[in-house]
Amino acid sequence: MRDSGINVLFLGKNFLRLLEGLGVTLRISLIAVLLSLPLGILLGMFMTLKNPVSKAISRIYLEFIRIMPQLVLLFIAYFGVTRMFGWNLSADVSAVIVFTLWGTAEMGDLVRGALISIPRHQYDSAAALGMTKVQTFIHVVVPQTMRRLIPLTINLTTRMIKTTSLVVLIGMTEVLKVGKQIIDANRFEYPTAALWIYGVIFLLYFLACWPISMLAKKLEKRWR
Amino acid sequence: MKRKNLFVKLITWSIAALLLAGSLAGCGGNDGSAATFRTLDEIKESGKVVIGVFSDKAPFGYVDENGDYQGYDVYFAERIAKDLGVEVEYVSTAPASRVEYVATGKVDIILANFTVTEERAQQVDFALPYMKVKLGVVSPDNALITDAEQLNGKTLIVVKGTTAETYFEKNYPNVNLQKYDEYADAYNALLDGRGDAFSTDNTEVLAWAIQNPGFTVGIDALGNADTIAPAVQKGNTTLLDWLNDEIAALGEENFFHADYAATLASVYGDAANPDNLVVEGGKVE
């Protein structure tokens, strides 16, 4: 047994590299989240329209994104688009597009679910009070929908942060890949490094997702 | 009436979203013709060659603690860039996406421990080889196997789907094969003494034997050599020809032995003979 694997963390710029990797993870996922939340809300409203054409379109979109593994979507956006159309998207842009498409689909369905869960009598009561449809939507439906959406949205956001680890396959070095690189580069001198590195990565993911959880808790309290 | 307004708004928003996505895509696109390769002159003009390497396959391609790429493949890549007179940009590739990277022109050269196979040769153009892999057989020191004939009637551990499995089935039918799905299981079987020896790629067993005292690679080069070569996009003849000339010229100065000494020797130590791994001037005997 040679030196403990924890030393690997403090070799050279290893710890800084892990943080940079976390930066890549957060950059991709947060941009995608910020784009998918508004787009998803619009999609969710679009999905509740009682129009056969809009229903078919949103259904096809949702099912396509849901059935395709994100990995396949990433390969299509990064390699497939270049092969088919000759557009050379950078790995960053491909990742943001794919995760936004995915996040929008998921968010859209969450919003749809939350919207149709508002019971019929809420609409009837609002109408009885003389509210117009728009007033009902803004003052009755939206507040209740928002509260229902918070936990679901937080789940989706943290899931998106974690799923971005797939971007290694299109050449981006995010936090998990940096960890693997460090473990591999030291596998002859520090065979036990893996446990420590993965432990630190666990902690980094936790530190990234925890504030989001806390924010959700606060919002839920305020909107009660 | 109200609903109609909402609908129109939604459509407008959707179109806006599409336009946004489109403009994002536009930012990423460089020149629209990137699906095709860059010729030798274009690379020289741009002042940068893009090379796909592994970033987690020590000692062939890995990243050191300062964030710099290192390894046998990288040592060669640095030399390529120097002789082209350009900077090098590394792209970290995964085994499964190597072909795609070259085929879409996202990298100019793949230099990621890329074994030459017929299937891959239909999709990319391989240059001359710079390394070769044969089979190795590792066994305990107290019953060391130094010749494949010694294995007749004994139990040999192999991993399913490897070249070792097919080689021994074909050439040594009297060897009892004990097959495992995973490398880790096979190594554990050897440690437990469930078989007399274990065979797979020599690079793999050599590195393992160094970490496991009591075991030695008695046979370090068996069977036909699989070669490892740089690859470029199909039809990129200017770059391919340049690479072939480069590899031939480097053979004159025994460049790959120097590469071995700098990157692999510390890992394999005295256990391996560099002549069994290194290919000079693209000539495999």
Indicate if B217 and B141 belong to the same structural domain: yes
Of the two residues B203 and A42, the one the predictor is more confident about is A42
pLDDT(B18) > 60: no
B176 vs B209: which has the higher pLDDT: B176
pLDDT at A160: 94
Residue B24 covered by a domain: no
Q: What is the per-residue pLDDT for B34?
A: 42
Q: CA B251 to CA B274: how far, in whole Å? A: 14
Same-domain status, B144 and B182? yes
Specify the range with the lowest mean pLDDT, choosing from A120-129, A130-139, B150-159, B209-218.
B209-218
Q: Are residues B126 and B245 in the same domain?
A: yes
pLDDT in tens, B75-110: 999 999 999 999 999 999 888 788 999 999 999 999
Would B47 be classed as within a structural domain?
yes
B24 contacts A79? CB cut-off 8 A: no
Model confidence at A90: pLDDT above 70: yes
Indicate whether B48 pLDDT > 80: yes
pLDDT at B97 (0 to 100): 85
pLDDT of residue B96: 79
Same domain for B242 and B220: no
Q: How confident is the model at residue A208 (pLDDT cuts 50, 70, 90)?
A: very high
pLDDT of res. A114? 94
Q: What is the mean pLDDT of residues B173-186?
A: 89
Q: Which domains does chain A possess?
A: 5-222 (1.10.3720.10)
Same domain assignment for residues B110 and B55 = yes
Q: Which of B7, B91, B210 sits opposite A171 (nearest CB)?
A: B91
**B105 part of a folded domain:** yes
Question: Looking at beta carbons, which residues of chain A come within 8 Å of B97?
Answer: 75, 79, 169-171
Helix (H, G, I), strand (E, B) or coil at B182: coil
Instruction: Quote the CA–CA distance of B42 and A114 in Å, as a whole number.
Output: 55
The reply to whether B207 and B264 lie within a common domain is no
Residue range(s) defining the domain that contains residue B190: 134-225
Residue B100 lies in a domain: yes
Interval B10-23 mean pLDDT: 54
Averaged pLDDT score across all residues of chain B: 86
Predicted confidence (pLDDT) per residue in A104-124, tens digit: 999 999 999 999 999 999 999
Name the band, by pLDDT with cuts 50, 70 and 90, for residue B27: very low
CB A9 within 8 A of CB A200: yes
**B56, closest residue in chain A (CA to CA):** A181
- Co-location of B171 and B47 in the same domain: no
Least confident of A64-68, A183-187, B260-264: A183-187
Provide long-range contacts, Cβ within 8 A and 24+ apart, for B270-274: B271/B206, B271/B209, B271/B210, B271/B216, B271/B217, B271/B220, B272/B202, B272/B206, B272/B217, B272/B220, B273/B220, B273/B221
Q: Which of A89, A169, A182 to mutate to test the interface with B (most CBs of B within 10 A)?
A: A89
Distance from CA of B6 to the nearest CA of A (A): 9
Write down the pLDDT at residue B31. Answer: 38
Mean pLDDT confidence for B66-75: 93
Write down the pTM of the prediction. 0.77
State how far residue B54 is from chain A, nearest Cα, in angstroms. Answer: 9
Picking from B65, B70, B207, the nearest residue to A14 by CB comes out as B65
**Chain B contact present for A19, CB below 8 A:** no
Residue B15: predicted pLDDT: 53
Backbone angles phi, psi at B227, to 5 degrees: -105, 155
Element (H, E) at B140: strand B131-140
Range from B128-137, B218-227, B263-272 carrying the lowest mean pLDDT: B263-272
- When CB atoms are compared, the residue of A78, A93, A133 closest to B25 is A93
Residues A41-49, mean pLDDT to the nearest whole number: 93
**pLDDT tens, position by position, A74-89:** 999 999 998 888 888 8
B197 and B253 belong to one structural domain:
no
Q: Does A79 touch chain B (CB under 8 A)?
A: yes
Of the pLDDT bands very low, low, confident and very high (cuts 50, 70, 90), residue B3 is low
Q: What percent of chain A has pLDDT over 70?
A: 99
Per the CB < 8 Å rule, is A88 touching B63?
Answer: no
Q: Residue A152's pLDDT is what?
A: 92
In a shared domain, residues B44 and B111: yes
CATH of the domain at B120: 3.40.190.10
pLDDT for res B6: 58
| Nearest-Cα residue of chain B relative to residue A45 | B10
Flag whether B4 is in a domain.
no
Give the pLDDT confidence score for residue B173 in this predicted structure.
Answer: 93
Residue B159 and residue B89 share a domain: no
Q: In this predicted structure, what is the pLDDT of residue A27?
A: 94
3-state secondary structure of B137: strand
Q: How many helices (H) and strands (E) does chain B have?
A: 11, 13
Chain A residue numbers touching B35 (CB-CB < 8 A): 82-83, 85-86, 88
Note the pLDDT of residue A193: 84
pLDDT at A4 over 90: no
Q: Do B119 and B239 belong together in one domain? A: yes
Q: How large is the average pLDDT for residues B116-140? A: 92
DSSP character string of A59-74: HHHHHHHHHS-HHHHH
* A14 neighbourhood in chain B, CB within 8 Å: 65
Residue A201: predicted pLDDT:
94
Which of B21, B58, B100 comes nearest A187 by C-beta?
B58
In a domain, B107, yes or no: yes
Among A82, A134, A171, whose Cβ lies nearest the Cβ of B34?
Answer: A82
Asked if residue B202 and residue B172 are part of one domain, the reply reads yes
What pLDDT does residue A69 have?
Answer: 92
CB–CB contact B34 A39 (8 Å): no
Residue B2 lies in a domain: no
Residue B175 lies in a domain: yes
So what's the pLDDT on residue A205?
94
State yes or no: pLDDT of A157 exceeds 90. yes
d(CA A11, CA A190): 11
Note the pLDDT of residue B162.
82
Q: Which residues of B touch A177 (CB under 8 A)?
A: 55-56, 92
Instruction: Report pLDDT digits (tens) over B198-256.
Output: 998 888 888 888 878 899 999 988 988 889 999 999 999 999 999 999 999 999 999 99
Number of domains in chain B: 2
C-alpha to C-alpha distance for B228 and B278, rounded to whole angstroms: 10
Q: Do B67 and A13 touch (CB under 8 A)?
A: yes
